[in-house]
Amino acid sequence: MSEQVGELLPPTRLMLTPGPSSMDPRVYRALATPLVGHLDPWFMEMMGDVQVLLRRVYRTENRVTFPISASGSGGIEAAVLNPLESGDEAIVCVNGWFSERMAHIAERTAARVIRVEAPYGRAVDPEDVRRAAKGRKIKLVGLAHGETSTGVAQRLDDFRKVADELGALLVVDAVATLAGLPLEVDRQRIDICFSGSQKAISAPPGMAPITVNAGVEEVLRARKSKVQSWYFDLTTTMNYWGKERTYHHTPPISLIYGLREALRLVLEEGLEARWERHRQNQQALVAGLEAMGLELFVSNPADRLITVSSVRVPEGVDDVRVRRQLLDEFNIEIAGGFGPLKGQVWRVGLMGYSCQRGNVLLFLAALEKVLLEQGFKVPAGAGVGAAVRASLAAPESVTIGNRK
């Protein structure tokens, strides 16, 4: 190779995507600390800190609570492959790209999988799950708490009731919701819950925190066959994260440092305060978008995901050009739609460290400028003004660090 490769100098972006989110400088500092071995006594003790912090953020006492060395999709694999085997029946609620991924993964097992679907932009009706079971014994009911492909949130308590009636485990994809909106694993009696490190937790991508209760541990011990995946077999990985600390694989040590610090910051802020910050800033964002004449993809406000808002691309506006201009001129990254929604929506993430009032106002002002240049008529300052009024109308101001 003749050409010299220069120093790595990534641009500084404001991440308003469905993930990853921007990170607190303290998380960056944690990532830059010295590397130690994954069997080093200091590291093994620190692993316990991560588990304690995760339990607090999940609001659970579950023994098996740890970060899987994988993306959120790895969390789906672990959550679905471990309980399902031949002869089982499962119901997966599908209303978007990632809940459909859960169904695809479940369908690779020897279990019979029943899909209960809702149109993109709508929540799945728990009554449809009850009807789909037709009185049969169901092993698990799986769903996405927050479907980031569409911006839809599911109400978990209704599904817990249905799962109880069916004698089923409740498996919840909380990749886009953990630390961003109310989620309490023990109180809501979620059997298996997994998330992603890079979203509302605001840690680096590459970790999938998971928690399973004692009932699931019994299910895994009673399996008649081996779990389909060696890597995601919880009966072995939980030994590394258990008291034994039995070697399983080399985990991403620096990422775990970052996750530890990010979880510590979540609890420093306080879960309730963090949930409220996300709620208030999303309300300001929605008020600003609607004042600009834009339409939210999810029509029912009660079904809208707080951490990711999907906005319809107006007729005559170039989706890619808008996103590119936001990136080139303002260093703001948002996401487009994919699958059936490609070219039809923008997806704006307000998660973790990115979820700040100043970021909402900056984005709305930048979007107004870009839309005006494409000929879309926006009342001058309407978005920012509406967002400010929504913020002032909130019961109290919430902050992260020194920013609101």
Burial of 23-36, coded b for 16+ CB within 10 Å and e otherwise, reads bbeebeebeeeeee
**Domain end (from 267, 283, 303):** 267
The CA angle 20-26-28, to the nearest 5 degrees, is: 55
The verdict on 234 and 282 lying in the same domain is no
Does 216 have pLDDT greater than 90?
A: yes
Beta partners for residue 126, in sequence order = none
Kindly list the strands in the beta sheet with 345-349, ordered across the sheet, starting from the edge strand earlier in the chain: 308-312, 345-349, 335-336
- Residue 402: per-residue pLDDT: 42
What phi and psi, each to the nearest 5 degrees, are found at residue 194?
A: -135, 160
The verdict on 107 and 153 lying in the same domain is yes
Amino acid code (one letter) for 324: R
Q: Tell me the whole-structure pTM to 2 decimals.
A: 0.95
Q: Does residue 18 fall inside a structural domain?
A: no
Domain boundaries, position 41: 25-267
The verdict on 226 and 371 lying in the same domain is no
Task: Tally the C-alpha atoms within 13 A of residue 317's C-alpha that lie toward its C-beta.
Answer: 26
Q: Does residue 7 fall inside a structural domain?
A: no
**Domain end (from 249, 267, 285):** 267
- Residue 39: per-residue pLDDT: 87
Q: Does residue 80 fall inside a structural domain?
A: yes
pLDDT tens string 319-377: 999 999 999 999 999 999 999 999 999 999 999 999 999 999 999 999 999 999 999 99
Contact of 191 with 219, CB cutoff 8 Å: no
The CATH number of whichever domain residue 284 belongs to comes to 3.90.1150.10
The CATH number of whichever domain residue 236 belongs to comes to 3.40.640.10
The verdict on 38 and 172 lying in the same domain is yes
**Domain end (from 224, 242, 267):** 267
- Residue 396: per-residue pLDDT: 56
Q: Does residue 4 fall inside a structural domain?
A: no
The verdict on 122 and 217 lying in the same domain is yes
162: nearest Cα among 131, 193, 117, 194? 131
Burial, 222: exposed, middle or buried (Cβ in 10 Å; 0-12, 13-18, 19+)?
exposed
Q: Given pLDDT bands bounded at 50, 70 and 90, which one contains residue 80?
A: very high
pLDDT tens string 257-285: 999 999 999 999 999 999 999 999 999 99
